[in-house]
Amino acid sequence: MNQKPSSAFIGASWVALMAGFAAYNIGLFNATMQLNEKGYYFTVLILGLFSSVSVQKSVRDRLEGIPVTNIYYGIAWTCTMLAILLLTVGLWNATLTLSEKGFYAMSFLLTLFAAIAVQKNTRDSVGSEPKTPSDQQNL
């Protein structure tokens, strides 16, 4: 049984996720780039969020002995690395100032890290709840 994370860590994780996501998207909204470029950066963020949470879940499942296929595990890692690579290539070739590029990179990484922490906290919170008698019968 896992120990439930502290309320402070849960709150800090959610604040980091919301702050990173909001900052990244407010930056996109206010950017002077074309709409298709904004769509590219938004899609890369969503891909990164989904895949990083999938990596966290897959790694955790394997540690706990829950079966995870190698193909799903590999796809999750590949998509996470691909999202980071796509952001890097996009920012490298963008006509943005270095401070804007750094802003997008840091808010992107903060959002991915926070999403992983929120997923971990959610799983630890559910895993730390006492089992009811009906739960015991279903095991």
Kindly give the residue spans of alpha helices, DSSP state H, lying in the chain: 7-30, 35-63, 70-93, 98-127, 133-138
Q: What is the pLDDT of residue 126?
A: 78
C-alpha span between 95 and 71 (Å, rounded): 37
Residue 24 has what pLDDT? 95
Name the pTM for this structure: 0.83
The pLDDT score that the predictor gives to residue 39 is 95
Q: At 27, which amino acid appears?
A: G
pLDDT at 122: 87
Dihedral sign for Cα atoms in the order 42, 111, 77, 127: negative
As averages over each run of 10 residues, the pLDDT of the chain (139 residues) reads: 82 94 94 92 96 93 91 96 96 92 95 94 75 54
The encoded tokens of residue 125 equal 């919170």
